[in-house]
């Protein structure tokens, strides 16, 4: 056994056990609100499947390359599910209500990668071998964030990450819908799931904030300044992210908004009775929106019109304005 990097872990485990009944309620709320769908319901599978596929492919031909690249990146994000399942189990445990949630959440998330992958294959959007090579590299590269054995950081991260994913899918769907309404419908179903997942993690972190305010603030202050995604180190990831930003799908401005929304929802500014460390973390969090705004402005000021080309879209070159 390796020694934990987190001396507070026993106390944090006790808090997670204490709030477990409330977590069970949040999970039941989630089950009651969801509409469980299956990928086959959203793709051509009927007797007239060949005609449906031909029509789908014809519509998909109009999708701009910027939307295609964003869709590939969003699909890669969904393909990171093995990393996330492992991390939730590692940080929240392999039994009890947290493990039950992890299995439920993983089963729901698995459908997202399945339906997107089936769609892009059916629509002939990509060079599938190039996409599969990216997916392989994405999983093989691993994802082991430096969270110092802190389960609160896991809950802060998932709160932010679920909203970021929802935003990216929603904006990609909005752009895609001008050309291919079936793709927008698929992304809308995924977004509805992500919205419920976000609500679960957000409200779970609310419980942690109430039960262990100082440590929870420290965890949020450590995670929120930069949301590292698995796969960020694979070839082409930064360029694909830049395409998403320029297309208005996801970038620093969108991250700024979701941080502002969460800080407001959690009423971070109103928390009191804090320790010195808690006050320091609170100040850092409250200053974060201004910092993120400056970063967004800096990125935009340095951008210029440029061309992009990716193997996944057959190395076609396309040009995008600074955005």
Tens-place pLDDT, residues 103-160: 999 999 999 999 999 999 999 999 999 999 999 999 999 999 989 999 999 999 999 9
Residue 4 located in a structural domain = no
pLDDT in tens, 32-84: 999 899 999 999 876 666 888 899 999 999 999 999 999 999 999 999 999 99
Residue 12 located in a structural domain = no
Residue 233 located in a structural domain = yes
Query: Do the beta carbons of residue 66 and residue 140 sit within 8 Å?
Result: no
What the block records as the tokens of 258 is 């979701």
Looking at residue 46, what is its pLDDT? 63
What's the CA gap between 159 and 144, in Å, rounded?
18
Query: Do the beta carbons of residue 162 and residue 197 sit within 8 Å?
Result: yes
- How many distinct structural domains can be found in the chain? 1
The pTM of the full predicted model, rounded to 2 decimals, is 0.95
Give the pLDDT band of residue 5 (cuts 50, 70, 90): confident
Domain of 77 in residue numbering reads as: 26-320
Residue 266 located in a structural domain = yes
What's the CA gap between 218 and 211, in Å, rounded?
14
Residue 7 located in a structural domain = no
pLDDT in tens, 206-259: 999 999 999 999 999 999 999 888 777 788 999 999 999 999 999 999 999 999
What's the CA gap between 212 and 321, in Å, rounded?
46
Residue 94 located in a structural domain = yes
What's the CA gap between 200 and 206, in Å, rounded?
10
Residue 214 located in a structural domain = yes
Q: Output the domain CATH number for residue 223.
A: 1.10.620.20
Query: Do the beta carbons of residue 176 and residue 187 sit within 8 Å?
Result: yes
Query: Do the beta carbons of residue 130 and residue 137 sit within 8 Å?
Result: no
Where does the chain show beta strands of DSSP type E? Answer: 306-309, 317-320
Give Rg (Cα) of the chain: 21
Residue 2 located in a structural domain = no
Q: What is the DSSP letter of 315?
A: T
């Amino acid at each position: 056994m390796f020694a934990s990097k987190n001396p507070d872990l026993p106390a944090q485990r006790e808090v997670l056990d204490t709030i477990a009944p409330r977590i069970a309620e949040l999970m039941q709320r989630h089950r009651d609100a969801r509409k469980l769908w299956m990928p086959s319901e959203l793709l051509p599978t009927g007797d007239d499947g060949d005609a449906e596929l031909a029509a789908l492919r014809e519509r998909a031909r109009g999708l701009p390359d910027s939307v295609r690249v964003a869709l590939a990146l969003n699909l890669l994000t969904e393909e990171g599910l093995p990393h996330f399942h492992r991390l939730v189990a590692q940080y929240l445990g392999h039994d009890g209500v947290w493990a039950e949630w992890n299995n439920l959440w993983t089963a729901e998330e698995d459908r997202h990668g399945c339906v997107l992958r089936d769609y892009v294959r059916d629509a002939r959007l990509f060079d599938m071998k190039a996409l599969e090579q990216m997916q392989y590299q994405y999983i093989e590269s691993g994802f082991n964030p430096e969270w110092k054995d802190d389960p609160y950081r896991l809950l802060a991260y998932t709160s932010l990450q679920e909203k970021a994913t929802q935003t990216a899918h929603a904006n990609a769907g909005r752009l895609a819908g001008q050309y291919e309404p079936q793709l927008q419908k698929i992304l809308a179903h995924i977004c509805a799931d992500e919205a419920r997942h976000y609500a679960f993690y957000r409200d779970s972190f609310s419980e942690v904030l109430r039960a262990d305010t100082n440590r929870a603030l420290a965890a949020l202050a450590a995670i929120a300044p930069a949301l590292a995604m698995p796969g960020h180190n694979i070839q082409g990831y930064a360029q694909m992210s830049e395409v998403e930003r320029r297309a208005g799908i996801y970038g620093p401005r969108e991250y700024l908004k979701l941080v502002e929304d969460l800080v407001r929802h959690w009423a971070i500014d109103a928390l009191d009775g804090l320790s010195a460390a808690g006050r320091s973390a609170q100040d850092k969090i409250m200053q974060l929106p201004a910092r993120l705004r400056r970063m967004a402005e800096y990125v935009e000021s340095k951008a210029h019109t440029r061309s992009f080309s990716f193997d996944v879209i057959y190395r076609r070159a396309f040009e995008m304005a600074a955005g």
